Amino acid sequence: MTKRQDEILQIVKQSGPITGKEIAEKLSLTRAALRPDLAILTMSGNLDARPRVGYFYNQELEVKQHAEKFLHQKVSDFKAHPIVVEKSTSVYDAIVQLFLEDVGTLYAVDEDGNLAGVISRKDLLRTAIGNQNLNELPVSVIMTRMPNIVTIHPEETLLEAAKKMINNHIDSLPVVKEMEDDTYLLVGRITKTTITRAYLEIMEQKLD
């Protein structure tokens, strides 16, 4: 979109319905000079024109463009750092870590940094009310482990991430790369907050 087309869009957004003549006046241009830009904006669906009324801004198209852009965002562009513990870490230390890092889910890794398990708030709460010795108990005993972990690849979309979280009733997904030896290298995390943040960011973005 050219600078002038953007100016026209902003005018129609603020003052529509508005006639071509009025837009031309606001931009100190002739109606003829404006005609090609108005034609382009109408053909692309950004503006609607009604005889004798003028130009309208097509809000629906903007919402659709935003939504489409949102849905195709890649996991790799939004993932956060994974907060990890060794699988030998005690449940007590995992709880401390959860508070220190201000997260809802921890990932357990093996000696090579490969994903071994998921430990959620409720996994820790359930264990804590069971009166066990939390300092002696390793998280490996209570974590959800492979092959039951639902993961996502960096090249997948946020839409796929959202679907996986909703369908599996979970708050987060480890972002992993599958290695040749069938292990999963942990490279990030996607949470429900990630999706909400991406939604806000894109909806507030100016589209071109």
d(CA 160, CA 157): 5
Interaction between residue 173 and ligand ADP (CB under 6 A): yes
> How many residues comprise the chain?
208
d(CA 208, CA 205): 10
**According to CB under 6 A, which residues from 1 to 30 bind ligand ADP?**
none
**CA within 13 Å, CB half, 142:** 25
- Provide the minimum distance between the beta carbon of 16 and ligand ADP in the complex, in angstroms, as a whole number: 46
**CA within 13 Å, CB half, 42:** 14
Q: What would you measure as the largest C-alpha separation in the chain, in angstroms? A: 82
- Based on CB atoms, which residue is closest to ligand ADP, 58 or 172? 172
Interaction between residue 89 and ligand ADP (CB under 6 A): no
Interaction between residue 195 and ligand ADP (CB under 6 A): no
Q: Which stretch binds ligand ADP (CB under 6 A): 28-36, 39-47, 120-128, 175-183?
A: 120-128
Q: Which stretch binds ligand ADP (CB under 6 A): 1-9, 44-52, 67-75, 115-123?
A: 115-123
Contact letters for ligand ADP, residues 29-58 (x by CB under 6 A)? ------------------------------
- Based on CB atoms, which residue is closest to ligand ADP, 41 or 149? 149
- Provide the minimum distance between the beta carbon of 14 and ligand ADP in the complex, in angstroms, as a whole number: 44
- Provide the minimum distance between the beta carbon of 142 and ligand ADP in the complex, in angstroms, as a whole number: 8
Residue 23 burial (10 A CB sphere; 0-12, 13-18, 19+) = buried
Helix then strand then coil, in percent of the chain rounded to 5, is 45, 25, 30
Question: What is residue 177's three-state secondary structure?
Answer: strand
Question: Site residues (CB under 6 A) for ligand ADP?
Answer: 104-105, 118, 120-123, 144, 148-150, 169-173
